[in-house]
A and B are shown apart, each in its own frame.
With several copies, the nearest count.
Chain A
Amino acid sequence: MGTVLLEDRPQYEVRLEVFEGPLDLLLFLIRKKKIDVHNIPIAVITREYLDCLQRKERINLDREAEFLLMAALLIHIKSQMLLPREEPFPEEDPRRFLVDQLLEYQKIKAACAILKEKEEEQSLFWTREGLPPLAEAGDVDLAEVSLFDLAETFFSLMKRKEGENFRLVKGKSVSIENKMKEIVRLLEEESVLDFLEYFSRQETLEEAIVSFFSLLELIKARMVLAIQEQLFHSIKVWLRKDVARKGK
């Protein structure tokens, strides 16, 4: 009933917020004007579309940039259609791309409507999210994993590592070689290094990881001696005697 009212009042308000995007708005206008999607009068629909945008006081570029983009596309198609041609549309109808897009979007919207109903029906079926105690409760830890989980796990682990004092700083890259030199220099000055402390002092996550691998390299090259006294406890690093002597 409300829709009949819309037809009667030419100055009805279209709120951009109710549309999922420019295609949604276009489809609405096409249906309102009872236009055949396959043969869109571009001039008419462009005017309607621009009216909708103009009625809005302020365009929120964050959310509504795509609406402007579509306006530009419509104007472009309109100008293409106006170009004098030897034959009507010798190559391709300039509307072709937009029409295909609209047809596919229309199908998706229809599928959404059906799925929405199914979701509604399904919401009445309650399944359990966990097993009550007793029984053979399995590991609660278990989860089905995807590639996304794998990558996310790794990067959040890296970030969690040694607190939140890591910042993702771009543009500063550190090489393992330089880090190794830095560690050796520090060891020459202070003779012993608390590695976890040094690790968490690193400015960026990348630096921290690089410093960790630099230490591994140093250990591998038998230049330093690293001892972790107990699990979870700090790693103490010493310069090996022969290396220390060489340095002097």
Chain B
Amino acid sequence: MTPGLKEIIESLVFISLEPLTLEKLKEALADFPAAEVEEALTDLVRSYSDGSRGIQVIQTGGGYIFSTRPECDPWVRRLLKIDRKSKLSGAAMETLSIIAYHQPITSSEIQALRGVDSSYTLKTLLEKRMIRIVGRKNSPGRPLIYRTTDRFLAHFGLNSLEDLPTEEEIARILGEEKTSEPEP
């Protein structure tokens, strides 16, 4: 079934990563009369505005985008939180990788390797039970020392820390250790 103009516009507003301007819309729909495009767009916005839907088309930043209905916010927020819990941020990855390869390690050693303060990330990793505190170091300030947990091993499918990929393996996979460079 050929889609109507309103449905095509719906798909375009949906796929657009920034507010879709009327201009851009008309450009993509050059095979339709401009007046019809405008009419179908108005139609689309109206069909979403009766409040019977979980999403809506709104006009913002000079264009049109889909957004969730504000009334759904509590659940949207909860889902995003769950999502965030199950994933690691880039910072968490960096910190976790340092702990994995250098344990036991203190917070300031991690900081020195990353070049940034990592206390927030450490807290997150502790909450996710990927790392644990195993004691204090016998050095000035007696800083806490961290290790990865069994949960960390399970998460990455490892039996022991010795199973971590070595630098050579990663280099080989990434193709950085070229043994014979083909001549151009």
**Do chains A and B directly touch (beta carbons under 8 Å) in the complex?**
yes
Tell whether A143 pairs with B87 under 8 Å between CB atoms, given A118-B157, A149-B93, A150-B93: yes
A125 and B68 contacting across the interface, CB-CB below 8 Å: yes
B16 and A132 contacting across the interface, CB-CB below 8 Å: yes
Please give me the residue from chain B that is nearest to A206 by CB atom.
B167
Which A138-153 residues sit within 8 Å CB-CB of chain B?
138-139, 141-153
A32 / chain B contacts, CB cutoff of 8 Å:
181-182
B77 / chain A contacts, CB cutoff of 8 Å:
136
A108 and B174 contacting across the interface, CB-CB below 8 Å: no
A125 and B115 contacting across the interface, CB-CB below 8 Å: no
Cα of A216 to Cα of B116 in the assembled complex, Å: 18
A108 and B115 contacting across the interface, CB-CB below 8 Å: no
B73 and A124 contacting across the interface, CB-CB below 8 Å: yes
Checking A19, A23, A143 against B93 with a beta-carbon cut-off of 8 angstroms, the contacting residue is A143
A-B residue pair count with CB separations less than 8 angstroms: 251
A-B contact list, 25 entries, CB within 8 Å: A6-B181, A22-B115, A24-B115, A32-B182, A101-B113, A108-B97, A112-B90, A112-B93, A115-B93, A119-B88, A123-B73, A123-B84, A124-B71, A125-B67, A126-B11, A126-B73, A130-B17, A142-B84, A143-B89, A146-B133, A146-B156, A151-B97, A154-B101, A168-B171, A220-B137
Size band of the A side of the interface?
35 or more
Using CB atoms and an 8 Å cutoff, list the residues of chain A in contact with chain B: 2-4, 6-7, 14-15, 18-24, 28, 31-32, 62, 66, 70, 101, 104-116, 118-136, 138-139, 141-155, 157-158, 161, 168, 212, 216, 219-220, 222, 231-232, 235
A132 and B18 contacting across the interface, CB-CB below 8 Å: yes
B174 and A4 contacting across the interface, CB-CB below 8 Å: no
Number of chain B residues close to chain A: CB under 8 A:
74
Cα of A116 to Cα of B142 in the assembled complex, Å: 33
Closest-CB distance, A23 to chain B (whole angstroms)? 4
B113 / chain A contacts, CB cutoff of 8 Å:
101, 104-105, 108, 157-158, 161, 212
A124 and B70 contacting across the interface, CB-CB below 8 Å: yes
Q: Contact mask B52-72 → A, CB, 8 Å, 1/0?
A: 000000101100011110111
Tell whether A7 pairs with B88 under 8 Å between CB atoms, given A132-B66, A135-B68: no
**A contact patch SS:** helix
**B contact patch SS:** mixed
B89 / chain A contacts, CB cutoff of 8 Å:
139, 141-143
Please give me the residue from chain B that is nearest to A65 by CB atom.
B117
Please give me the residue from chain A that is nearest to B20 by CB atom.
A132
B156 and A125 contacting across the interface, CB-CB below 8 Å: no
Checking A111, A116, A134 against B65 with a beta-carbon cut-off of 8 angstroms, the contacting residue is A134
Closest 10 CB pairs of A and B: A154-B97, A124-B70, A146-B132, A21-B116, A31-B182, A3-B181, A151-B165, A110-B173, A114-B165, A125-B67
B84 and A154 contacting across the interface, CB-CB below 8 Å: no
B17 and A132 contacting across the interface, CB-CB below 8 Å: yes
Tell whether A150 pairs with B97 under 8 Å between CB atoms, given A20-B90, A135-B67: yes
Q: A105-B115, A118-B156 are in contact. List 18 more A-B contacts (CB 8 A).
A: A3-B183, A31-B177, A108-B113, A111-B97, A111-B100, A114-B165, A115-B93, A115-B156, A115-B164, A123-B73, A124-B70, A126-B76, A134-B65, A142-B89, A146-B149, A147-B156, A151-B165, A154-B98
Closest-CB distance, B73 to chain A (whole angstroms)? 4
B134 / chain A contacts, CB cutoff of 8 Å:
146-147
Closest-CB distance, B130 to chain A (whole angstroms)? 10
Cα of A147 to Cα of B96 in the assembled complex, Å: 11
B138 / chain A contacts, CB cutoff of 8 Å:
220
